[in-house]
Structure 1
Amino acid sequence: MAAKEFRPAGHQFALSFIDGGRDAVERTLIDHVEADVLRSAFLNVQDEDPVPAYLHSALCAMSLPTQKPKDEFQPIIRSDDRYALAINPKPVLQMLPNGERAMVSKGVPYGAYPRVVLIYLLSEAVRHKSRDVYLGRNFADWMRKLGYANLSYGKRGSAHRMLDQIDRLLACEWQIRWDSEPAKGEDGSWAFREAKLTHEQAGTEFSDGSFRREIRLSETFYSHLLEHSVPLNEVAIRALKEKPTALDLYTYLAYRLPRVKSPAGQRLTYDQLAKHLGNDAVPGKFKQAVMRSIDLVTSVYPNANVQFGKHEIRLMPSPEPMAKKLIGSHLRLVGASKAGSGKEVANFEPRSSVPKDKIAPASGNAQLAEKQPFPGGSIRYSPSLAAFREIATRRGGGYDMDDIVAAFRKGMRDIHEAKSQETWLALFSRFCEAYATKRNGD
């Protein structure tokens, strides 16, 4: 597996930061339409002190739908090696437009909003060591706590969509089953325990329309949460709060990577990851979603040592996302290891020079300004095609990079015309996405 052909944006930023500090990150050139957003997310995590947030390990390993399911009223069932998760939409008593009351099912929660709400609820429970979670004085106050300062109203506004997802989330019956530790001498093969997320099956408002200011976790779930909470960084959650797939990847990696003990790491296929996350997309499209999201995830979790190949992912031992120092072999460790610690720590002392391949040329640099035909040679090995190689790996859907560049050279009528490298990179990036989309549809 050619695991090192692709380096996510967050790892590129971290390398620049180690070598040249914040200024080097500001000059780092990456091929991404949201390069400024990624850079800002990385620097925010580096500048701000980590703020602890928490999620139950079962909810890190298994997640909600990213989009509205075809049948939103069917229960969601997820399974992992150790956990099983069932989310059952239960009907609640509501006032209908005609003034009558009826039992109405809202359906299952989906998208980014319920993920952020879950992290908030469980973080508050762990921080305050209480299963009674205070939401806020009113809805707007709570939204500010969740990081949504600018709410839009109306049927399609963010406030309406958030209220709908919260109603779905709190009205569902949540069940988590896990292998319990058997007593000494007993067979634990059928030893399971079960816990509901809350005792309540109610939405965010009472019958008189007032805001529900507090929610109570079930005692069994709360007790297990305290034992199996996974630390996250709230600063990172703020950057991911609009991206459900990125949130899933972040929480999954936060749970799995610190538990990887083998220096060789653990291998995971894209199909296995899709099953973990409960993503129903076709394999090719799911892989594209992962590759689009990992730049943002590594920007807020640069210590995540995860390597991407054509058919599989390799999870390597990594610190928790709360760790402030940039640590890991994927970040080209600097400095000597501490005696007896077995760990190497990156030296944060900025160097006077920054590697040229990590730093964007100045605006007048001849390399970008000089126009020339698309370069020849194998994209896999030619040093002059390193930037194109990275684009093919990231945006080519896992297909052979030399096949992609051959199709690009064949399909581009003006392949021999002189263009700046920046223009060629942009054209090739769009071509890779179109190539992957077409192949996935074959």
Structure 2
Amino acid sequence: MGTVHDILENQGKRGALEAGHAREVVEAAAAYMSDEENGLGFAYSGWAQCALPLKKLPPEARWEVATDRVRLVVEPGLRLATNEIDGPMEHVGVPYGAHARLILLYLQTEALRTGRREVELGTSLRNWLSRIGVSYGGTTGRLVRDQAERISRCRLTFHIQGTGSSSALVNQTIVDKALFIQGGERGAQGQLSLETAKLSEGFYEQLLKHPVPLEEAAIRALNNNPAALDCYIWLTYRLHVLRNDRLVTWSALKKQFGSSYRELFHFKPRFIQSLQLASAVYPGARIDVLEEGVVLKPSSSPVKKLVTSQ
């Protein structure tokens, strides 16, 4: 996969396509290489090991995924089904898809940038989304507002197994304070605009201790592909700290990334596509895809700037 960048530089997109690289991989690599911005984003390392669902689940369904060391449980929150304070409650569903991931990246990045748990949304979020190539408005605006509300109301647990002992974020919300502005139309569903959010103390503390730096150029190139975003975050977390080659079996990869797939043979080709896209925006990534699984090799840092934890 690394050769796609050399081919693009010397022969352009046509040469890369004629060399057999998939069009979406060529487009992602070209977008990344032509990006002159040097912005950084951040994510809590737990998201590099367990991620949100890719697609919408039933409103009342919880999401659960586990690897050898980390288990993530996300429970959907509740909201008033009507404007009556004593009216019935309804589940809003767990966050999912690309927009949920982008909102979370914004929240985490802004919290680290400002050193404050409280993050402004509204115009600031819209500007950030625009900067990473997401046009805010119409259907996209409604989707973003929906995911922001899901994030603000859900409850998550990261169970982390350490060496010889275990630690966990138990019953933590991502956000423990949010300001909603009621829209002009009547009815609660879909009319709330999230303007500010305050990260929960537990989640913020873990973010401070274990941030994963990401390139905005890479996020921008993958902004509509949640599976590739997950794979990119995973590679940035794993590769640059390796000292030796590490084989990750297909069964382990399916456990982490493919819990929604019934069979391994359904998962493998989709994951390889995600891996190719992630590698397209991480030129230094050194990986081999084998029959047994994926071999991760010691690689250079994916970011162009030196970043130190706060």
TM-score with structure 1 setting the length: 0.60
- Contact conserved, 1:268 with 1:313, CA < 8 A, in 2? yes
Please give the alpha-carbon distance, in whole angstroms, between the structure 2 residues aligned to 1:58 and 1:283: 24
Partner of 1:109: 95
Please give the alpha-carbon distance, in whole angstroms, between the structure 1 residues aligned to 2:117 and 2:178: 17
Please give the alpha-carbon distance, in whole angstroms, between the structure 1 residues aligned to 2:25 and 2:231: 19
Partner of 2:113: 127
Residue 163 of structure 1: how far off its partner (Å): 2.3
Please give the alpha-carbon distance, in whole angstroms, between the structure 1 residues aligned to 2:25 and 2:206: 40
- Contact conserved, 2:175 with 2:199, CA < 8 A, in 1? yes
Cα RMSD between the aligned structures? Answer: 2.9
Partner of 1:291: 272
- Contact conserved, 2:178 with 2:194, CA < 8 A, in 1? no
Q: Structure 2: 5+ residue runs without aligned partners?
A: 185-190, 306-310
Which of 59, 64, 72 aligns to 1:85? It is 72
- Contact conserved, 1:260 with 1:317, CA < 8 A, in 2? yes
Residue 286 of structure 1: how far off its partner (Å): 1.2
Amino acid at match of 1:132: E
Which of 3, 7, 28 aligns to 1:12? It is 3
Q: Within 5 A, what are the aligned runs for 1:52-201?
A: 52-69=40-57, 71-95=58-82, 101-137=87-123, 140-141=126-127, 143-144=129-130, 147-149=133-135, 151=137, 153=138, 157-179=139-161, 189=165, 191-194=167-170, 196-200=172-176
Amino acid at match of 1:267: L
Please give the alpha-carbon distance, in whole angstroms, between the structure 1 residues aligned to 2:298 and 2:124: 42
Q: SS of the residue aligned with 1:314?
A: strand
Please give the alpha-carbon distance, in whole angstroms, between the structure 2 residues aligned to 1:211 and 1:150: 13
Please give the alpha-carbon distance, in whole angstroms, between the structure 1 residues aligned to 2:89 and 2:112: 33
Partner of 2:233: 251
Q: SS of the residue aligned with 1:200?
A: strand
Please give the alpha-carbon distance, in whole angstroms, between the structure 2 residues aligned to 1:74 and 1:170: 17
1:223 correspondence with 2:205: yes
- Contact conserved, 2:285 with 2:299, CA < 8 A, in 1? yes
Q: Which aligned segments of 4 or more residues in structure 1 are displaced greater than 6 angstroms?
A: none
Say how many residue pairs are matched: 295
- Contact conserved, 1:116 with 1:146, CA < 8 A, in 2? no
TM-score with structure 2 setting the length: 0.83
- In 2 relative to 1, CA 58–86 (structure 1 residues): closer, same or farther, beyond 3 Å? same
Amino acid at match of 1:299: A
- Contact conserved, 1:195 with 1:220, CA < 8 A, in 2? no
Q: Within 5 A, what are the aligned runs for 1:336-375?
A: none
Per-residue CA shift, 1:216-259, capped at 9, x if unaligned?
01112211211101111111101111111111111111111122
- In 2 relative to 1, CA 270–205 (structure 1 residues): closer, same or farther, beyond 3 Å? farther
Please give the alpha-carbon distance, in whole angstroms, between the structure 1 residues aligned to 2:27 and 2:179: 34
Please give the alpha-carbon distance, in whole angstroms, between the structure 2 residues aligned to 1:63 and 1:300: 19
Please give the alpha-carbon distance, in whole angstroms, between the structure 1 residues aligned to 2:78 and 2:146: 14
- In 2 relative to 1, CA 36–299 (structure 1 residues): closer, same or farther, beyond 3 Å? closer
- In 2 relative to 1, CA 302–190 (structure 1 residues): closer, same or farther, beyond 3 Å? closer
Residue 289 of structure 1: how far off its partner (Å): 0.8
Per-residue CA shift, 1:126-173, capped at 9, x if unaligned?
11111111113387556435531253x2xxx22222322222222101
Residue 113 of structure 1: how far off its partner (Å): 1.1
Residue 191 of structure 1: how far off its partner (Å): 5.0
- In 2 relative to 1, CA 283–202 (structure 1 residues): closer, same or farther, beyond 3 Å? farther
Q: Structure 1: 5+ residue runs without aligned partners?
A: 1-7, 182-187, 325-442
Residue 12 of structure 1: how far off its partner (Å): 1.5
Amino acid at match of 1:301: Y
Please give the alpha-carbon distance, in whole angstroms, between the structure 2 residues aligned to 1:73 and 1:300: 36
- Residue identity over aligned pairs, in percent, reads 28
Please give the alpha-carbon distance, in whole angstroms, between the structure 1 residues aligned to 2:56 and 2:179: 19
Amino acid at match of 2:106: Y
Amino acid at match of 1:130: R
Structure of higher CA gyration radius = 1
1:269 correspondence with 2:249: yes
Per-residue CA shift, 1:34-93, capped at 9, x if unaligned?
36523422422xx52432111111111111111223x44222122233333221102122
Please give the alpha-carbon distance, in whole angstroms, between the structure 2 residues aligned to 1:164 and 1:210: 8
1:240 correspondence with 2:222: yes
- Contact conserved, 2:179 with 2:197, CA < 8 A, in 1? no
